[in-house]
Amino acid sequence: MPVVAKKLEMQHLAWRAGFGETLPVISGWEKRRRKEMVHKVLTGPKHAAFESVDVINATDLPDYKRAKDMTEEQRKTVREMNTQGIKDLNVAWMNMMQKSEHPLREKMSLFWHGHFACRTQNVLFNQQLIGVIRENALGNFGDLLTAVSKSPAMLQFLNNQQNRKQHPNENFAREVMELFTMGRGHYAEADIKEAARAFTGWGFDADGQFVFREKQHDDGVKNIFGKSGRYNGDDVLKLLLEQQQTATYITTKIFRYFVDDNPDDTLIQSLSGKFYQSGYDIKTLMREIFMADWFYDSKYIGNRIKSPVELLVGIRRTIPMAFEQEETMLVFQRILGQVLFYPPNVAGWPGGRNWIDSSSLMFRMRVPQVILYSQVLNVRPKELTPEMGDGGNYKMTLQINDFLKKQFAKKVNARINWEPYLQGFSDIPRENLADAIAGALLQQPGNVRKNLLEKYADTSSREGYIKTVTIDVMSTPEYQLC
Amino acid sequence: MYILNRRRFLQVGSLASATLLMPKFLKAFETGALVPPGNKVLVIVQLSGGNDGLNTIIPYRNDIYYRSRPALGIRREAALSLNDDLGIHPALQGLKALYDDGAMGILNNVGYPNPDRSHFRSMDIWHSASQSAEIWNDGWVGRYLDAQCNGCDKPTQALEIDDTLSLALKGEHNKGLALTDPGRLSNTSNDRFFKELLQQHVVEDEHHNVEYLYKTMGETISSATYIQQQFKTYQSKESYPATELGRNMRIIANLIMSDINTKVYYVSHGSFDTHVNQQDQQARLFKQLSDALTVFTGDLKKNNRFQDVMVMTFSEFGRRVSQNASGGTDHGTANNMFLIGGDLKRQGVLNEGPDLMNLKDGDLQYKVDFKSVYATLLDKWLGADDKMILKADYAKLDFI
């Protein structure tokens, strides 16, 4: 296995377990042992309390129990609060990714956000779901699975509110097996039917609290995976966790997300075995991966296509910035194909090469220029369509589309704080600057030639030089990878 | 503060007219017409948002229709007559004329088993041509590109007139190209810095994704140059409507007449999501559709290309049979499709109108699987292997 330099190793860790770190941070990591750094990445800063990304209190919104009696004016207010709330939530989470001292939590949450893909236009439901995902992102998978499965957002999205003893609705049971735990082809249709019976009665009330409606629950005996009992929903989740296949399925997905698009069967087998034995401890699995020598094999380094959110957050983490209108981030996300809280379907974002087509690639390479030179976006994203199928959220979606349209012709005004970034290169002699910048920003710095960077650089001042070289390096195909 | 160095920015962002890059396929294009005369072209018009098919092709002899839509139903006198049972929406005058000319086929009750009423899921199903319980990450036109263009040097076989690319045009190995303005696409991709990056890139072996990105970038830049060259060769003299669709249809016409190698064009029109106040919105969008297609087909006829073009319209679903309380309609199922061209084997109303007697939960039941329409177009129009592309054998229809 080709050995890579320690600096590249640490940059690799910083990118895969987060959104990249700046040169001074990496220089600090370089001096420490891998074990120490992996531990730090996994646990985050000492004594740091969990920070939520909440944007609204339940009491801020009108009483949903009264929804039927609301006037048109009140309904409009609720819709607007939801629209704005979801935008705020998106922005708040993006900002958290940018500034977090525990980026693995956010990275892992972004993974689970795609794994437990869900769409709801209720801001409180969204906020609650992302809350339980972020809290459990590095905890126990069983706890995470249970919390997500009992969230009103997911119960609503997968129609379990309509799952009743007399008329079972199988949607929830099917997706829990197909997408959340075992993956397609590892269970029978009969298992889904029986599991759906067990989930009857799971629902939520007008306050957005999980409720078990005993009268709607089918209390009879169910046969699932060759066992039988008077199972309820919790029992089904337990049965699913008992299946080794669940560990294999989750590990494969994690491998594809954190290591490589092409899963290595031998590695997955060993990793998932340990994951299963640990009782689904996510931190244990991630430690296995980040500590392994194979993780730092040069074939994995710089070969992963960043998701749009990773790309945007990565730029912002490297060069701290705030936007005049933070909601601009939604437009970037929309054009690049990943809007937080709007996964394309129940299976989430496919990832990998699916992020890339001619237009998205050319736009990705323009992003640093658009932001850092304050250009006009000039790209009109495709419209969003309302999701829930009942027309109730029609106007809200129109509002979002309207907002996206207005943004398109505007300049992207960011307040960029270059200072800490420039400071990071203060010790580096002029002749080594281009290589140092490329080396800090790219996982395969050798591909972009110094003479090309020199040619397009502003050579009138050191500061201008660093800035222009940085923007150009960020505009390369290599920067799309980590 | 924002603009750190205007001069440098202009330098990096400036456009070079010289073709620094001359990939081998462009050299091939230089040697003469690569596209055989009479290149068959498919133009897909997506009516986004779920167009109400019942108010598009109107069953004006049906009492159930008027009972279900006391306010929204289109009166028999207002609808433009197609035959004894069916009329077409009054704003679709241009399409009615195409129908009278024998240049339009209307397919009713098109849908798929176990319909999904969510916009995004149903649109995915139409784009990917999957079954409703399956999730595929590639589209049917994209897989057509995979089948036809793998290893071929012409990555401009499918173009979407838009800023971002739809799932329909994404294949596993090949993808269509999205552009709103052939000039602007070229501007971005002519960026000198990008071109030089491409030139300095040495193919290496280990990191397959680096190669994939450079390949995509290289194809985009060379395609952009090619499209711009072709685009300049023909400028329509017709006056297209000053609407977004009118502008987009003009670009398509220019490209078709330029003998570019493009086989499939894709364009969206909408939104038809008419939960409230349907009448005005649908009529406005229909007029835009009708006017744009009238000029477009006229343009093709004058240039003797109408027989080489097939226009297909679709929407992710139709609306419910009954109107709702807000002067609109909610999400439904089966719907109609238009097929427009100068070389239709069968024209007019191609099958029975909607069967309002046999609804399922208040929705129309589909009679024709949309994948049969795709199969027909792939096999009989584009000469491609429909079974491989659609991963199943769907019955072919006889409009081609």
User: What value of ipTM does the predicted structure carry?
Assistant: 0.92
Write phi, then psi, for B20 (nearest 5 degrees): -70, -30
pLDDT at A159 over 80: yes
Q: What is the mean pLDDT of residues A33-53?
A: 93
Distance of CA A472 to the CA centre of its chain: 27
Dist CA B136 CA B390 (whole Å):
11
For residue A404 the two structure tokens come to 């996206």
Mean pLDDT over A107-117 rounds to: 98
Which is more confident, B74 or A388?
A: B74
Residues pairing with B349 in the sheet: B106
pLDDT for the residue numbered B2: 34
| pLDDT band at residue A68 using 50, 70 and 90 as cut-offs | confident
Q: What would the two tokens of residue A76 be?
A: 């409009």
Comparing CB atoms, the residue among A387, A471, A481 nearest residue B209 is: A481
H or E, element range at B179: strand B177-179
CB contact under 8 A, B163 and A335: yes
Distance from CA of A51 to the nearest CA of B (A): 32
Q: In the prediction, which pLDDT does A78 show? A: 83
Are residues B264 and B158 in contact, defined by beta-carbon separation less than 8 angstroms? Answer: yes
In contact, B12 and B188? CB cutoff 8 Å: no
Asked if B43 and B250 count as a contact pair (C-beta separation under 8 A), the reply is no
Cis check: omega of the bond before B271, within 30 degrees of 0 = yes
Return the amino acid letter for A317. Answer: R
- Between positions 355 and 394 of A, the ones with CB within 8 A of B are 356-362, 365-366, 369, 372-374, 378-383, 385-391, 394
Name the one residue in this structure whose structure tokens are 């299946």.
Answer: A243
Which of residues 270 through 309 in chain B touch A, CB cutoff 8 A? 270-271, 273, 275-276
CB atoms within 10 A of CB A322: 13
Average pLDDT over residues A172-182: 95
The pLDDT assigned to A445 comes to 77
pLDDT bucket at A389, cuts 50 / 70 / 90: very low
Class of domain B40-181+240-390: alpha beta
CB-CB contact of B135 with B124 (8 Å): yes
- Report pLDDT for A80: 84
Q: Which residues in B332-345 are b (16+ Cβ under 10 Å) and which e?
A: bbbbbbbbbbbebe
Segment A189-215 mean pLDDT: 94
Report the DSSP pairing between strands B158-161 and B368-369: unpaired
What pLDDT is stored for residue B184 in this prediction? 73
Instruction: Give the tokens for residue B272.
Output: 């038809």
Could you say which residues from 289 to 348 on chain A have a Cβ atom under 8 Å away from some Cβ of chain B?
A: 298-299, 302-305, 335, 337, 344-347
B97/chain A closest Cα distance in angstroms: 31
**pLDDT lower than 50: segments of chain B:** 1-34
CB A241 within 8 A of CB A142: yes
Nearest to B207 among A303, A394, A472 (CB): A303
Q: What angle do CA B305, B311, B314 make, to 5 degrees?
A: 175
As to burial, measured by CB atoms within 10 angstroms (0-12 exposed, 13-18 middle, 19+ buried), residue A210 is middle
Top mean-pLDDT range of A15-24, A74-83, A206-215: A15-24
Mutate which: B15, B119, B166, B227, vs A, most A CBs within 10 A: B119
Q: How confident is the model over A342-357, as a mean pLDDT?
A: 92
Residues in chain B with CB shorter than 8 Å from the CB of A76 are none
Residue B150 is predicted with a pLDDT of: 67
Which residue in chain A has the smallest CA separation from B165?
A: A359
**Which sign, positive or negative, has the C-alpha torsion B88, B93, B94, B100?**
positive
The mean pLDDT value of chain A amounts to: 91
Which residues sit opposite B48 in a β-bridge? B270
The pLDDT of residue B388: 96
CA A124, CA A370: separation in Å to the nearest integer?
A: 33
* Token pair 């297909």: residue: B312
- In chain B, the residue whose alpha carbon lies closest to the alpha carbon of A379 is B163
Separation CA A450–CA A430 (nearest Å)? 12
Residue A374: band (very low, low, confident or very high) from pLDDT cuts 50, 70, 90:
confident
* N residues, chain B: 400
Facing B275 at nearest CB: one of A346, A394, A458: A394
Predicted confidence (pLDDT) per residue in A424-446, tens digit: 999 999 999 999 999 999 998 77
Q: What is the pLDDT at residue B154?
A: 63
pLDDT at A48: 78
**DSSP tag of A267:** H
Distance of CA B366 to the CA centre of its chain: 22
Task: Write out chain A residues lying below 8 Å of B220, CB-based.
Answer: 358, 361-362
Sign (positive/negative) of CA torsion B187, B189, B192, B193? positive
Higher pLDDT, A112 or B218: A112
Which secondary structure element, helix H or strand E, spans residue A223, and what is its range?
A: strand A222-224
- Give B169→chain A minimum CA distance, Å: 10
Closest CA of chain A from B381, distance in Å: 26
CA dist A268 → A83, A256, A275, A289 (Å): 41, 10, 10, 10
